[in-house]
Amino acid sequence: MSTDLEPKLEALTPQDFARGLEVFHQSLRDAEVSYLSACVRCGLCADSCHYHRAEPALENMPARKLDQIAAVFRGHFTTMGRLAPGLVGAKRFDKDMARAWVDAAFGRCSLCGRCSINCTIGIPLPTLFRAARKALGAMRLVPEDLQASVANSLVHGNNMAIERDEWVETVQWMEEELQAETGDPEARIPLDKQGARCLFTVNPREAKFFPLSLQASAKVFWAAGEDWTLASDGGWDLTNYALFTCEDDQAAAIVTHLSDAMTRLGCEVLVIGECGHGYQSARWMGPEWLKKAFPFPVVSILELMDQYLAEGRLQVDPSRNPLPVTLHDPCNLVRHGGILEPQRRVLRKAVAHFVEMAPHGVENYCCGGGGGQLAMSQYRDRRLKAGGVKARQIQATGAKVVAAPCHNCIDQLGELNKEYQLKVQVKTVAELVAAALITPHSAEVLP
């Protein structure tokens, strides 16, 4: 599956290249076109990129990655590039440049955006790399394993091709576990509850392999007395891998699963579970893709937990999370998504010892698994190497637990844990809150 690029490049026709160029050009706004020739080669981006920090090679430098794309633009869409390509470093879009685009835009970039906020002149590099990914999609050059997750969502309504009865059985199982844990036979994980205030959505990997995070979220809702539901069929999966393939029509179709479920169930608030790209997709990109605003608010479960704690709807005892905890900032949730403080306020209340990484917040480093990297097996070695920056950040905090409000990051952090022998536990924020909850039941058993 992973060595399939060369035959695909061999099979490209002149029409494919023309189509790729057309899609690339059409997806750029005027300002973005000017940014393509705006780089002043100051070099600040090099240090900002986790790929370059982990391996200081020219091809890992954001400005260089961008120039692979801009060179082709100059070669086809600028007068000087057409007349005197050698003079302005312009390239024709051929097999070699298509390979360079795949390597730069898919193979060495997690679309984390850290280069952009550290760019002297604010070049929106992720937007430009997204345009390149979109063009490569039109040329059928998206890595197949990444495309497969999109196909699953379009065909099955979730990115792991989980069938309805499998999902429902898992939810019922977690409901039984929740009842056993809380000692409350009335504790529910509601499915298709018509008119519930909140429609909650999860990452399919929770359902398939790691359902304890779903149980933890449910426990938080139970303790807060929230009126909530999950959808049983379509509209329960918050992921949208078309954000990474940059096929906007497919992204629109996938985000419609969520808005359709909101309409079908008559819910008021769409709640996105702990997932960076899922939040970015539903909260910010969804209306862009659909070209209309949602008639309902989209919030992260982190915001809800923050609100519950502020309103006194949840009582927590931080001593139940005694180990030092640090926090990973998922790029799509924090730098791109704007959710910065809620998770921090929550952790300061729910854990005994909270320690920040340096840097953190909007200046965080990507874990290395973002932008679809986790799904692309062929870049595994680069992904783990680039993740070394995050691994060293974690080590420097001395924390024994890493809170990561994103299931994609959790998987990558789990691999970094093994690769760099970090000896930490990786948990969702809801799992830490659930562990700290003072509930009527737990109050009884306390001395």
Residue 274: which of 353, 213, 233, 220 has the closest Cα? Answer: 213
- Please tell me the distance from the alpha carbon of residue 242 to that of residue 429, in angstroms, as a whole number: 26
Least distance in Å: CB of 327 to other proteins? 19
From residue 120 to residue 159, the character string flagging contacts with other proteins as x (rule: CB under 8 A) and all else as - is -------------------------x--xx--x------x
> Which of 28-36, 61-69, 75-83, 167-175 is the region at the interface with other proteins (rule: CB under 8 A)?
167-175
- Please tell me the distance from the alpha carbon of residue 62 to that of residue 49, in angstroms, as a whole number: 7
Q: Is 2 in the site for other proteins (CB under 8 A)?
A: yes
- 354-355 and 425-427 beta bridge pairing: unpaired
From residue 65 to residue 104, the character string flagging contacts with other proteins as x (rule: CB under 8 A) and all else as - is ----------------------------------------
Q: Which residue has the tokens 């070669």?
A: 75
Among 18, 33, 161, 362, which residue interacts with other proteins (rule: CB under 8 A)?
A: 161
Q: Is 271 in the site for other proteins (CB under 8 A)?
A: no
Region for residue 161 given its phi and psi (left: phi exceeds 0; alpha: psi -120 to 50; beta: otherwise) = left
Q: Is 438 in the site for other proteins (CB under 8 A)?
A: no
Q: Is 208 in the site for other proteins (CB under 8 A)?
A: yes
DSSP string across 361-417: GGGPPP-S-TTTGGG-GGGHHHHHHHTHHHHHHHHHHT-SEEE-S-HHHHHHHHHHH
Q: Is 381 in the site for other proteins (CB under 8 A)?
A: yes
- 425-427 and 401-403 beta bridge pairing: parallel
- Please tell me the distance from the alpha carbon of residue 419 to that of residue 423, in angstroms, as a whole number: 10
> Which of 10-18, 23-31, 314-322, 414-422 is the region at the interface with other proteins (rule: CB under 8 A)?
414-422
Q: Is 180 in the site for other proteins (CB under 8 A)?
A: no
DSSP string across 283-333: IIIHHHHHTS--SS-EEEHHHHHHHHHHTTSS-B-GGGS-S-EEE---TTT
Q: Is 55 in the site for other proteins (CB under 8 A)?
A: no
Provide, for the chain, the percentages of residues in helix, strand and coil under a 3-state DSSP scheme, each rounded to the nearest 5: 55, 5, 35
Q: Is 374 in the site for other proteins (CB under 8 A)?
A: yes
Instruction: Compare residues 309 and 375 and give the one whose CB is closer to other proteins.
Output: 375
Q: Is 201 in the site for other proteins (CB under 8 A)?
A: no
Radius of gyration in angstroms for the set of CA atoms belonging to the chain, rounded to a whole number: 23
Least distance in Å: CB of 169 to other proteins? 6
Among 45, 112, 207, 298, which residue interacts with other proteins (rule: CB under 8 A)?
A: 207
Q: Is 58 exposed, middle or buried (0-12, 13-18, 19+ CB in 10 A)?
A: exposed
Q: Is 344 in the site for other proteins (CB under 8 A)?
A: no
From residue 233 to residue 252, the character string flagging contacts with other proteins as x (rule: CB under 8 A) and all else as - is ------x-------------
**Kindly report the CA angle at 302 between 320 and 152, in degrees rounded to 5?**
115
Q: Is 296 in the site for other proteins (CB under 8 A)?
A: no
Which chain residues interact with other proteins by CB under 8 A? 1-3, 145, 148-149, 152, 159-162, 166, 169-170, 173, 203-205, 207-212, 239, 275, 374-375, 377-381, 407-408, 411, 414-415, 418
